[in-house]
Structures are given as structure tokens and as C-alpha cells.
Amino acid sequence: MAWVREGESVSITVRGKDVATLVPKSNPRRKRFNAQAHQKRIKEIFGDKVFTDNIVVEMRNEKDW
């Protein structure tokens, strides 16, 4: 919901197909992308982990979609 509050439209999908779009009631001014805040959040979530192509493929294969 934070994305919608910030003016983003969000597609709702079922099994990879769009079924609806959630749009903000009014279109507030979009915030500029803050790269430093983004990097900080990525660091908080993943730490110093580095995901190679092979690791990502393995994680996707392990996931029970």
C-alpha cells in the first residue's frame, strides 16, 4: 500500500496474469528515487550476500511456486 500512497499503480496478478490494477485515488507528486536509501535498505535486507546467476537459479528451483 505504501507504493500506492506514493502515487504508484500496482498490478495484481494471479499465476502470472494481470487481473486488476490498484491505482491511487489522487495522483500526488511522485518522490524522486533516493539511491542512497535504496542501497541502505538492500544492505539491511541482504547484508553482504552476493547472489550469482547459479545461486539465483537454485533458489528459484527450490521455491515451491
The pTM for the full model equals 0.36
Short-list 59, 46, 23, 65, CA closest to 6: 23
What integer pLDDT is reported at residue 24 of this predicted model?
Answer: 84
**Percent of the chain scored above 70 by pLDDT?**
91
Residue 19 makes CB contacts below 8 A (sequence gap 6+) with: 12, 13
Per-residue pLDDT for 27 more than 60?
A: no
Mean pLDDT to the nearest integer, 26-55: 85
DSSP-assigned states of every residue in 3-65: HHHTT--EEEEETTEEEEEE--SS-PPPPPP-HHHHHHHHHHHHTT----HHHHHHHHHHS--
What confidence category does residue 20 fall into, taking pLDDT thresholds of 50, 70 and 90?
very high
